[in-house]
Amino acid sequence: MTENSFDLIILGGGPGGYVAAIRAAQLGMKTALVERDQLGGICLNWGCIPTKALLRSSEIYRLLHRLDEFGFSAKDIRFDAGKVVARSRAVAKQLSNGVGYLLRKNKVTVTHGHGRLAGKGRLAIERDGKAVSELTAEHIVLATGARARSLPGLEPDGERVWTYKEAMVPAAIPKSLLVVGSGAIGIEFASFYHDMGVEVTVVEMLDRVLPVEDEEISAFARKAFEKQGIKIHTGATVAALERNGANLTARIEGAGQGGEVEVERVILAVGIVGNVEDIGLENTAVKVEKMHVVVDEWLRTGEPGIYAVGDLVGPPWLAHKASHEGVICVEHIAGVNDVHPLDLHNIPACTYCRPQIASVGLTEKSAREAGYEVKTGHFPFIGNGKAIALGEPEGMVKTVFEGKTGELLGAHMIGAEVTELIQGYTIAKTLETTESELIRAIFPHPTLSETMHEAVLDAYGRAIHF
């Protein structure tokens, strides 16, 4: 047994934990990070990054089948599933190694093992069930992340019923697939597998796909997915799942829909729950609600000296939210003067399906429910020269403004590369920009970003190209 003393210990090396560790080190704190698996966490190793590598492969495969449209021809277009997966894993490994380098560069002490709170200011670490060390610090940040939620009767078996993890490393691409849940994770997998030639069915318990998005964007997305050939059931559930030889038979019920669908594989994508177990919370004043740790605006728990960030503390379950929470938490601990609590309305959300979806701020419905006098603007991608030139005319931008003050309340986009474009509106919201500044801003031509300008103009009856 060895004992080591630090200013700050962080439990978990995902986007919340490792970013918090680096920022703490920059602020002069002697920092330790404890990680039981791979640096970078689920996001980097089994989520955000490798899924984008897979989606890039499916995008290329789709484009290869559109060659004639662009004046090219090719024969015998095929893919190697093993190589597609291998590239995705290589991308994740490269970035995980990069996180390790950054932590070393900033002189963060990294310990691999399972950490557990062991009393005030103490964290005990085990490897293979054996105690290896105990770290002490005045401040401990919990960043243990979350895992996939399961449903009774639909428990993943790792072979035919998958979580996101198995879905990213298939030995072969199945011919048919059922995706349970139509949030970002479910829809991204539905999009990837469909573009790889799989017959895909999506079941969503709520009344629309991508239910956290603006209703108009959800409706647009559903039409686009169904046009592609994805079968969608909303207001429905999988009432039973039976093994039928090599296949699975799912009984779908609800909302006037129903029947059975036979598929080779099922992906369960019905949300996540925080990793609150076996980290020593039972002997503390840390409060847990709905499998997430309760924190205040500075990420403090109910136990003095214990903090929590990222997916562990609840939605939105986004890597960039976790990273910003990590920075806010350690800057507040360090006494930085200009640190501010996180404004959830300024956090962008992105879904990397086809077409892509991105948003920030309030939806039109939530803005009206909050009592705002609302002005909305719209602009279709079909009115944008760059979108047409790219062969990607399917899309729309929607803006939501406060009618009295011109405050930008929200922005919602669907179409090519909107996950890159949304940052323009995010900066505008962060700077508390009004319609006046956005109208006067000059957007380059020809670019997809011109759709953003036109959607602002349209909210005030000034759209030029629509």
Helices and strands (DSSP H and E) totals, the chain? 13, 24
C-alpha torsion angle, residues 282, 286, 290, 291 (rounded to 10): -60
The Cβ of residue 106 has, within 10 Å, a number of other Cβ atoms equal to: 15
Q: Which residues does residue 359 pair with via DSSP β-bridges, in sequence order? A: 349, 412
DSSP 300: B
342 phi and psi angles, rounded to 5 deg: -75, 130
CA gap 260, 252 in Å, rounded: 6
CA gap 238, 154 in Å, rounded: 8
Query: How many alpha carbons lie under 13 Å from residue 348 in its C-beta half-sphere?
Result: 21
Q: Which two tokens stand for residue 93?
A: 């490994």
Residue type, 252: I
CA gap 17, 99 in Å, rounded: 11
412 phi and psi angles, rounded to 5 deg: -140, 130
CA gap 354, 192 in Å, rounded: 8
Query: What is the DSSP secondary-structure string of 264-292?
Result: SEEEE-S-EEE--TTSSGGGSS--EETTE
CA gap 421, 436 in Å, rounded: 20
The Cβ of residue 164 has, within 10 Å, a number of other Cβ atoms equal to: 22
The C-alpha angle 346, 351, 353, rounded to 5 degrees, equals 160
Q: Is 445 a catalytic residue?
A: yes
**Percentage helix, strand, coil for the chain under 3-state DSSP, each rounded to 5:** 35, 30, 35
The Cβ of residue 392 has, within 10 Å, a number of other Cβ atoms equal to: 18
- What residue spans of 340-417 are helical by DSSP H? 364-369, 385-390
The candidate with the shortest Cα–Cα distance to 350, out of 48, 55, 118, is: 48
Which candidate in 332, 345, 412, 445 is catalytic? 445
The residues carrying an active-site annotation are: 445
